Every structure is written in C-alpha cells, then in structure tokens.
Structure 1
Amino acid sequence: MLHNRVPHILKRLAAIVLLGLACVAAVHAQDVLRVSAIPDEAPTELQRKFAPLGKYLEKATGMKVKFVPVTDYAAVVESLATGKIDMAWLGGFTYVQSKLRTNGATIPIVQRQEDATFTSKFITANPKIKALTDLKGHTFVFGAPSSTSGHLMPRYFLLRAGIDPDRDFRTVAYSGAHDATAAFVQSGRADAGVLNASVWDKLVEQHKVDPDKVRVFAVTPPFYDYNWTVRGGLDPALRKTLTDAFLRLDPRNPEQKQILALQRTVKYIPTQPENYAGIEAAARTAGLIK
C-alpha cells in the first residue's frame, strides 16, 4: 500500500518544490528595477546621463537598477503597458499615449521644475527666415513623430499661427531626435527645424552646433513636458520610495549636483496626470490622437 503511494507523494513534493522555485523567481525578479527613456537623443548620450542617477536609485531602493534602451517612442509606451519596464522618462505626449494605452494605469511621479514651463526653439541657417510665416515653401524637420517638444507642441502652435506644415512646407521630415534635428539644419539638409530648448542650449554649450551659423528665430509658448512615469501595478511603497528619492536630490551635495546637472535641472518637483490635460487637448487638435 505504501509502495503505491510513493509516486503520488513524490509528485506532490515535486509540485511543492516547483511552486517554491517559482515564488523565489518572482521575488528575485522584483529585486531589479527596469528603467527606460524615450530615445530623444543619441543612445550613448542617454546612457551617459542615466548612469549616475541609476547608481543613486540603487542606493535609495536597495534594488539593482537596469537601464533598458528602446528603439523608438512607441516601444517605451508598449513596454510600460506590458510590464517589461517599471519606470520611464517620458515626454508629455508620450505620457498621454501611455495613459490612453493603459486606461490611466501609468502614473507620472516627478518632473524637473523646468518641465512646468518648457519651450521649443525653431532654428534655421537661412538668413531669409526670420519669423514663422517665412517658413512657407521651405523644407522643415521635426524630431520624432511622438515627441512633445520636437513635434506635437510646435505643430500645434504652428497651426494656431495659421501655418499647416503638411500643406505650407515644401517637405516635412522627421529626424528622430533633437540633436539630429540640429544636425539636419546645420548641414543644410533642411531649411529650418524645431527642437526642445534644453537640448539646444546643451548643444551650444558643448560646441556641437555653431550659433553663428544656426540661429533661433522663434520660441513656442510654455507647456508641460517631461516626467518620470511608473507602470500600473507597481508597488505603491516602491513608487513612494522613488518619488521621495527624486525630490531629495540636492545641488548642495556634490554627487547629487552632478546627477541634476546631467538631467539639466537643479530640482525635481511632484507632478500629476492633470498637468498633461493641455498636451492631450493639443494632440487631439493637431489630429495626432483621435
């Protein structure tokens, strides 16, 4: 009788062991915080900017922090929606897309203080272009199609000024990233373009663009833009730990000053979904979401 029960007992033991291993694997998986960012700059630059911040977040959370690069903006949205990443650096429009994709599950937690009044700069090397109305009939380059500051808001403000890029420009191109847009204009591949103010300032500081050749001829009104967003279902305690870690960053601390400088800010502030209602409205007006 006992002999007949042995296989059954062994099967139950095997099931218990497998269940235990699955639980251990699940706990182990939660020890890694997977972070990504919209690819609005070159991949090497994104990695350089994130490296010290990643180490800081490891200390703050006690977790291993892994940066997960993506190929395009849509991949960040989809990765947040499917739980492949836990947190991402998004533009305002990308956050709106993630909110719609997840029925409001994704949560923006912090933004740089500059992101509450962000702007985009229109640039050209053509001396005949001095105002937005002078763009008609010229070639123009945006950043990525899903970029807030490299496409959506500039397009929205152009439409408000009575200029339809698809109708009034000779050609419209998409460079894919802000630094690439500057390169397009500086090399003469486009008569004019638009990129976010922060990247423009950085390119000038790093002498990667010559302001004597390429100049800013118009600036958009301010709008809400970038933020750090977490996926739906992330442990609320971890979400609070991450939020607090960003808000604690202090420029008086030399190590943290470097982190903030790479992120081009001196302070993070809390943010909330309501801040991006204007971005969603602009996207609907521009026909970029239905």
Structure 2
Amino acid sequence: MKLISLLAAGLLLVSGSSFAQQVLRVSAIPDEAPTELQRKFKPLGEYLEKKTGMKVEFTPVTDYAASVEGLINHKLDMVWFGGFTFVQAKERSRGQVVPLVQRVEDEKFRSVFITTSPAITKLADLKGKTLSFGSESSTSGHLMPRSFLLAAQIDPDSDLKRIAFSGAHDATVAAVSGGKVDAGALNISVWEKLVGEKKVDPSKVRVFYTTPPYYDYNWTVRADMPAELKKKITDAFLALDASTPEGKQILELQRATKFIPTRAENYTAIEAAAKNAGLLKK
C-alpha cells in the first residue's frame, strides 16, 4: 500500500507539473488602472490561447517592481514592460530575459508635459513649480521626462518646488486637472486616449512640451522559455492584422497599428539615460 501511495503521489506531481506548463501567466506594468489593463488584455488573451493552445491567465501586479520580480522568479511567463522596466529586468536577471515584440509606435515613443497654468509654456517655466511624474520605474512617466529635463539644465530634485509620483499615467492627468500639482509628465499614448475618450478637456489641461522620440514598451519573456513557444507567441503578435475584426479590436485596445520584432539592443539608450539620471547603478 505504501508503494502504491508513493506511486500515486508521483503521478499527481507529474500531472500537476504537466498542467502547470499548459498555462501562460501574463502580466503588465500597472501604468493604468487594473480594470483598464484587464479590459485591454481580454481579447488579446483569448487570441493567444487559440494561437498557443495554452490557457492564458492575466495577473495584475501591485507595482512596477512586482512585474520584474514576478518574471525573473518564475511566477510570470510574459510581461508587458516599459523600456526602463525591461532594462531593470535584464539587469536583475543578468541578461536572462528576452524582448519579443513591440508596437510600431514603440520605435518612436514620446512623453508629454501637461499643465493648466497659462504661466507655463516651456520646460524652463517649471522652475519653482510642482510636478507629478507617474511611477518611479516608468520609462515614459518618469525616466525619459527626467532625462529631458536634465538635458534642459533643469534638475527636478533641486530646481522644482516639489515633485510627486502619482503611480500611473491617468493618475498624473487627474493630479494636474485637479490642481494638486502645477504640471505633470506622462505617456503620449495614454494622453491621446484620454482626450479621445473625452476624459480630459484639452482646453483646460494642455500639452506644453512633447519630448523627442525614444524606444519604449515591449512584450518580454524569460530566456529559458522553450524556443517553440517563443516562436508561437511572436508569430501570433506579428500576424495581428487590422483588416480583420479580431485584429482590429486587439490592435485598437493595445493602441497599436501593428506589432514588430524587437531586441535588447534597442534599449541601450534607455539604460544609458537611467544611469545618467542616477536611477540605475553605473
């Protein structure tokens, strides 16, 4: 009986392991409200299930750091990272993560600075004012806006009256429109979406500076993911076509015209900016 019990336990372990491998655990940096991230991912998750033959589960994370730790600690299999969080994950894992695809838009991504104050028309006008970034680990909501401020000879930590971190792009817009801060910096894609959905009035909250372009978001997996699965996922994204109803819905929700392959080398400028801004060890 003891031998049978041991064999049964072994079979259960094998069965559980096999089942676990049939689930693709996906997450995204929480740069918008959790409900919005879930809404955007649902059709994409269903599409990936069909293309990979696996169950796809979306797991929201509490902050940017949790998305990095989840991937490198094998609690997640694929994550939608910003450029800076990808760089952090690459460093934390010692190069054991691989970016698969990005949107065409991510080759030339931008951030915007917004305000309600008529006295603020350029970056230099921010001196002595209050400014909200998004998350501290956000590429488009903190790192690159900070980098462009430094390039304009404005040190956010010493030249501004106060800086704050809202935690997410939509929260930054809310802080500016609500008068909690004089200005804010955020992802241009979220700004355009909120304006398009009439969730912000651009006659009251306006863009006064748009940054030069830089590489940003990507879908990243661990390097130890089976090559066959990496290919299935990559091919699924590359096959998305706005001329089909399914592709149109997914691409619109992802705010993409199409997905293209990407590589780690595309994010070296972001890594350099992070080191220069003191957000990553040199």
* TM-score, normalized by the shorter chain, greater than 0.5: yes
Q: How does 1:1-290 map to 2 (within 5 A)?
A: 10-290=1-281
TM-score normalized with structure 1 length = 0.95
**Partner deviation per Cα, 1:237-267 (whole Å, 9 max, x = no partner):** 1111000000000001011100000000110
Flag the structure with larger Rg: 1
Matched residues in 2 for 1:69 and 1:91: separation?
Answer: 15
- Deviation, 1:51, is 0.5
Aligned length: 281
| Amino acid across the alignment from 1:122 | F
- Deviation, 1:22, is 1.1
| Amino acid across the alignment from 2:28 | A
CA contact (8 A) 1:140 1:172 kept: yes
Aligned alpha-carbon RMSD (Å): 0.8
Matched residues in 1 for 2:256 and 2:4: separation?
Answer: 56
CA contact (8 A) 1:85 1:231 kept: no
- DSSP-derived class of the 1:88 partner: strand
Matched residues in 2 for 1:99 and 1:165: separation?
Answer: 27
| Amino acid across the alignment from 1:145 | E
- Deviation, 1:233, is 1.8
- Deviation, 1:232, is 3.4
- DSSP-derived class of the 2:225 partner: coil
- DSSP-derived class of the 1:109 partner: strand
TM-score normalized with structure 2 length = 0.98
| Amino acid across the alignment from 1:242 | I
Q: Percent identity?
A: 62
| Amino acid across the alignment from 1:152 | L
Aligned to 1:3: none
Matched residues in 2 for 1:29 and 1:88: separation?
Answer: 18
Unaligned runs of 5+ in 2: none
Matched residues in 2 for 1:96 and 1:231: separation?
Answer: 13
- Deviation, 1:23, is 1.1
Matched residues in 2 for 1:267 and 1:232: separation?
Answer: 24
- DSSP-derived class of the 2:143 partner: helix
- DSSP-derived class of the 1:35 partner: strand
- DSSP-derived class of the 2:9 partner: helix
**Partner deviation per Cα, 1:175-214 (whole Å, 9 max, x = no partner):** 0000000111111101001101100000000111110001
- DSSP-derived class of the 1:71 partner: coil
**Partner deviation per Cα, 1:6-58 (whole Å, 9 max, x = no partner):** xxxx4444333322221111010011110000000011110110000000001
